[in-house]
Chains A and B, each alone.
Chain A
């Protein structure tokens, strides 16, 4: 069974700081990759996804992620965070031949100080 690791459990940043959240997965075959965000009191929402093609994926709200196959990584980045980015972020992986069932990482709780 595959696993997904998010190494940063809690991140605290000041507004305008740059953000990079790490995500590594264990499956060696074809994968689809996702980042979800959960704002306080809200449901999980899709930030961005990678299926194939350009490994640099742009999502909503200025987020982007880069798929590096050789490193089994899909790190999330944002050049300048805002207070409204305070949320929990989850990386998720779907094996290419497993429908759309997702394996999630443990999540990273981001707090942005105004």
Chain B
């Protein structure tokens, strides 16, 4: 068990809606990264938070935003959902830039 938890497990939304996904990092970790894994593809880096600040961002539009809280848990928010946003969203936590531990993911379906 990695200790990284994500909620919800599954989520169904319609196009144009907004969604918030949550991640609790492993105890002692201060860095959270989010990845999008479309069906049949490898995970793609969305962004990373380190000590409540965005610390790097992949090639995703501004409607993908995030937060990290003082307890190092994190949220991923996606506005104006599009059909192509349907994917498994993975959260990974680490202590600084050390090994990342992945959570089970949230499966988002956009109809």
CB distance from A46 to the nearest CB of B (A): 6
- A-side interface mostly: loop
Within B1-35, which residues are at the interface with A (CB < 8 Å)? Answer: 2, 4, 31, 33, 35
Chain A residue, CB-CB nearest to B57: A101
A105 is contacted by which of B42, B45, B58, B97 (Cβ under 8 Å)?
B42
Residues of A within 8 A of B41 (CB): 106-107
Instruction: Place the interface of chain B in its size category.
Output: 20 to 34
Asked if residues A100 and B104 are in contact (CB atoms below 8 Å), the reply is no
- The answer for the CA separation of A36 and B43 in the assembled complex, in Å, is 11
B97 is contacted by which of A36, A44, A100, A103 (Cβ under 8 Å)?
A100
Asked if residues A99 and B97 are in contact (CB atoms below 8 Å), the reply is yes
Given contacts A43-B105, A44-B90, A49-B99, contact A102 B45 (CB under 8 A): yes
CB distance from A10 to the nearest CB of B (A): 11
Residues of A within 8 A of B72 (CB): none
Instruction: Place the interface of chain A in its size category.
Output: 20 to 34
Residues of B within 8 A of A44 (CB): 43, 90, 92, 102
B48 at the interface (CB under 8 A from A): yes
Q: When each residue 1-43 of chain A gets 1 if its CB lies under 8 Å from chain B and 0 otherwise, what string results?
A: 1001010000000000000000000000000000010000011
Nearest 9 interchain pairs by C-beta: A104-B42, A44-B102, A100-B97, A99-B97, A43-B104, A104-B43, A106-B42, A43-B102, A107-B42
List residues of A whose CB falls within 8 A of some B CB. Answer: 1, 4, 6, 36, 42-46, 49, 90, 92, 98-107
